[in-house]
Structure 1
């Protein structure tokens, strides 16, 4: 359906306080970790009766746990088993395949519920802003990750064209996502075969003749944001050798001080220094970690052929300063992984610079004033930082604000209104509920079993919905 321009948000009704007969109805927009943790925080308390609709535009829950954590991290992806328990709570209703802003406007949604919690994350990538970034063979990490995790919106044709014949890859960024990309591209087909990647992803990666992957950081190793666990995994690949330049591990006084006070930095440096004597081995992928280098332009005509980089130095404030010294790195593929920012929903303010919804302790601000009944949690609240578990504390803070507002009479129930799902169905929308998700889950498990795996991800929206319809026809 086309996007419907948003009206002004509906005012919070002035009616009865929440009761067992008329609980506080809360819509949580986004069924990733932040949204599920918010639903969990709402249902774990007993001071205010609640009923929660957990809405997502995809037919599947779990957000970045499903479509962000790399498929070769099965232990980390297993967190969805924990999250699933919250979906099964009797006061929580999963409502997938519903796009707020298209299938229902924000103003309409607010008329169905007493409060809305926005937890839909930060899905837009940040660009490098350099010459040649538009060339084929230049991708955002968000594009590549969406493709190899089987996201329904992945641009399969563009990504697969970029990977065709690739031998040299440059990944710009030194966070965990950058390391995920480098690791996945450096793995052998045999290492990736047991994962839940869609079959076409496995086929394309198996055919890509990658020989060298360079991870590029514009500052030094003391300023890198990857975690030690992610870093160590690079040295366990079956057919890749991690290479670092010992000269790039030398620290200025400011970086030495940072390493002395930050355990993650000191552990990272210990790992990197342990690799300083590695040498390239014939027939193995060379996985290089380069520091003090920033891209200044991508080279090529029909597609990317290389990256011109400038050597940098870190100043006293930890900023990267150019030195004017240039070099060219060969590259058939450049993947930028330099951050994320949030998209605004129609009718919801988002700060363009930070990519977050303005808020105070999770309470949404409109024109500097608290907007009663609107809250934010997760990356759209605080920005793209932290690991999955950080969303739990973040969601608890937001829900504490919501519950305080309910206790203070700011939030009050409006009494019976039309059911959200009934309204959506009447419009021709096909909402996916929990039993429908179970049908998708079963279909993916069965497909994986047919190929000797625990699961194979269904990547097309219509295929996901077909699994729902097939299960409904059998019941």
Structure 2
């Protein structure tokens, strides 16, 4: 019997478990570990609460845990409760699927001023992540800025621009809904160093901005290259550009009090304020011959009492695991870090791709594992039996999938009208729901 530990219960972790279960059948035991008592990672804490159709992929993950050889072990911190080295002693293979939950720094003066937050923090705040439940972003000013030109930037800008009624059917947590209801923000500026053709925004997320109840998108037509240049774009990207062109051609709705402003060719160079953020100094850019942004020397200021940085993420370092500082991920070759130690998902390739991208990635790494460690061979390691004994000795209250079902049932039962659930936002609350 082979024993495998997958560290991280987000999309990459579940797809890898699914692939290993198919490869080994009843010849392997697969444990999905997570630092929190509940599973799903990015699906629970990262996907926007008003995008419930994307969260529905968790139903597929539920089926993975129905496999007789797959288990979930939650509330376990790798590097704290147990080390990677100890896992390798207990399991035939260890696959790190911890994602990239840390915000990348802007690297400009003033980014440490109160009121400047990373998108992982802000998204975690409105999604009920326990690390960010007490974030309390400043919403008492009239202007906010979001730095970045990807879908996460759009999510943050959209959440800031919605009315309470537009959150019906979502699972945005109560503390965020209450704070947003009394928000004074009327203008959200989305800053991008390059132009419309260089965005990483998908049509669905862009299109939503044209249907907000109280906010209108604002795009400058002068920021676009000639329309003929769109022909060279991929179909999906071309559709996104068409949406932006439509925004540029449509005057803002005067009946709507809020504005969502796209400021392209804008590079933040400094955040300023007296004890807290009040404005961003931006340098106008242009594209060089390689398509990179270069400064023109022209500078201007953008008013903002809240700044959200959405410029990318990095995987946290772990003791004994080689790390790629530049890429913000573990050093690996096709997923292999070291003997019997693998990385998958964003921990392997960096923060790129969609949720679905993790499926082929997980299957590719699972194939490597199966080739290196065929069923019916190898050492007789303890796997979950040894891990649970070790955790019990250290006083760690691990959870399993049955525990998660009880937590889920409680969250569903405490939902406000029209919402699928009201999430607990602290580890103690999760454990209390289990009577612990």
Deviations 1:126-151 (A, max 9, x none): 11111111111111111100100000
Alignment of 1:272 with 2:244, yes or no, is: yes
C-alpha separation in 2, matches of 1:164 and 1:222: 31
- Work out which of the residue numbers 30, 47, 63 in structure 2 matches 1:69: 47
Alignment of 1:294 with 2:297, yes or no, is: no
Q: Does the CA contact (< 8 Å) of 1:212 and 1:285 recur in 2? A: yes
Cα separation, partners in 2 of 1:233 and 1:74, compared to 1, 3 Å: same
- Work out which of the residue numbers 135, 150, 155 in structure 2 matches 1:180: 155
Alignment of 1:213 with 2:188, yes or no, is: yes
C-alpha separation in 2, matches of 1:155 and 1:452: 22
Shift of 1:351: 0.8
Cα separation, partners in 2 of 1:110 and 1:436, compared to 1, 3 Å: same
Q: Which residue of 2 aligns with 1:425?
A: 392
Q: Does the CA contact (< 8 Å) of 1:193 and 1:202 recur in 2? A: no
Greater displacement, 432-441 / 279-288? 279-288
Q: Which residue of 1 aligns with 2:313?
A: 340
Greater displacement, 174-183 / 400-409? 400-409
Cα separation, partners in 2 of 1:447 and 1:155, compared to 1, 3 Å: closer
Shift of 1:252: 10
- Work out which of the residue numbers 387, 404, 408 in structure 2 matches 1:441: 408
| TM-score (norm: length of structure 1) | 0.88
Q: Which residue of 2 aligns with 1:146?
A: 124
Q: Which residue of 1 aligns with 2:347?
A: 380
Shift of 1:277: 2.6
Q: Does the CA contact (< 8 Å) of 2:89 and 2:381 recur in 1? A: no
Q: Does the CA contact (< 8 Å) of 2:79 and 2:318 recur in 1? A: yes
Cα separation, partners in 2 of 1:227 and 1:164, compared to 1, 3 Å: closer
Q: Does the CA contact (< 8 Å) of 1:131 and 1:298 recur in 2? A: yes
Q: Which residue of 1 aligns with 2:327?
A: 354
Alignment of 1:314 with 2:292, yes or no, is: no
Shift of 1:282: 4.8
Write out the 4+ residue segments of structure 1 that deviate beyond 3 Å after TM superposition: 415-418
Shift of 1:264: 2.6
- Work out which of the residue numbers 158, 163, 166 in structure 2 matches 1:191: 166
Q: Which residue of 2 aligns with 1:102?
A: 80
Shift of 1:197: 1.8
Shift of 1:98: 0.1
- Work out which of the residue numbers 236, 241, 249 in structure 1 matches 2:216: 241
Q: Which residue of 2 aligns with 1:466?
A: 432
Q: Which residue of 1 aligns with 2:378?
A: 412
Alignment of 1:112 with 2:73, yes or no, is: no
C-alpha separation in 1, matches of 2:283 and 2:226: 19
Q: Structure 2: which 5+ runs fail to align? A: none
Shift of 1:420: 1.3
Greater displacement, 179-188 / 47-56? 47-56
Deviations 1:10-58 (A, max 9, x none): xxxxxxxxxxxxx110000001100000000011124781101100001
Shift of 1:259: 5.1
C-alpha separation in 2, matches of 1:428 and 1:66: 27
Q: Structure 1: which 5+ runs fail to align? A: 1-22, 365-370, 471-475
Cα separation, partners in 2 of 1:328 and 1:41, compared to 1, 3 Å: same
Shift of 1:89: 1.6
Shift of 1:416: 4.6
Aligned-residue CA RMSD in angstroms? Answer: 1.8
**SS of the residue 1:177 aligns to:** helix
**SS of the residue 1:389 aligns to:** helix
C-alpha separation in 1, matches of 2:310 and 2:71: 34
C-alpha separation in 2, matches of 1:25 and 1:54: 11
Aligned residues: 434
Deviations 1:305-356 (A, max 9, x none): 1111111001121100100111111111111100111111121111111111
Q: Which residue of 2 aligns with 1:60?
A: 38
Q: Does the CA contact (< 8 Å) of 2:314 and 2:351 recur in 1? A: yes
- Work out which of the residue numbers 50, 55, 60 in structure 2 matches 1:82: 60
| TM-score (norm: length of structure 2) | 0.96
C-alpha separation in 2, matches of 1:416 and 1:406: 16
